[in-house]
Amino acid sequence: MKKCSKCKAVKELSDFYPHRSNKDGLCGICKVCCSKESRERYVKNKDYILKQNKRYRQQHRNQIKERRKIYRTHKMNTDVIYKLSYGLRRRLNNALNKNFKEG
Ligand SMILES: [Zn+2]
C-alpha cells in the first residue's frame, strides 16, 4: 500500500504507474490523479501540443509511413478479418470514387 501525494488516499501499489527514478520505482501520485493531471496539462497547452505533434509528423513522415507499412504487412499475414476488411474498404472506396468522378 502507498499514499498518493496528491489526493492523500492510501491505495494498492497497482494503482500507481511505474517511475524508474523514484526510490520505490513507482510514481508519487496515483493513476487517477496522474490522468487528471495530464488531461489538465493537455487542455492548458492544447495548441502547443497539437503544433508539436504536427511538426513531429512532418519531420518523421517517412518513418511513420514505413512503420505503418510494416504494421499493415504484419496484420495482413496474421489477421484474416483485418485482411478482409482492408480489401473491402479499398474496393468500396474505389467504387465510390469512380462513381463520383463519373457523376
Ligand atoms: Zn491520487
pLDDT of residue 10: 97
CA of 40 from ligand 1 middle (Å) equals 14
What percent of the chain is modeled with pLDDT above 90? Answer: 93
For residue 46, the SS3 value is helix
pLDDT tens digits, 2-46: 999 999 999 999 999 999 999 999 999 999 999 999 999 999 999
Separation between Cα atoms, residue 35 and residue 38, nearest integer Å: 5
pLDDT of residue 99: 74
Query: Is-above-0.85 flag for pTM?
Result: no
pLDDT of residue 14: 96
- Grid cell 520505490 is found at 24
CA of 8 from ligand 1 middle (Å) equals 6
- pLDDT, the chain, mean: 94
Residues 6+ apart with CB under 8 A from 64: 57
CA atoms within 13 A on the CB side of 54: 6
CA of 22 from ligand 1 middle (Å) equals 17
Write the burial class of residue 82 (CB in 10 Å: 0-12 exposed, 13-18 middle, 19+ buried). middle
Phi, psi of 79 (to 5 degrees): -115, 110
Q: Is the pLDDT of residue 103 over 70?
A: no
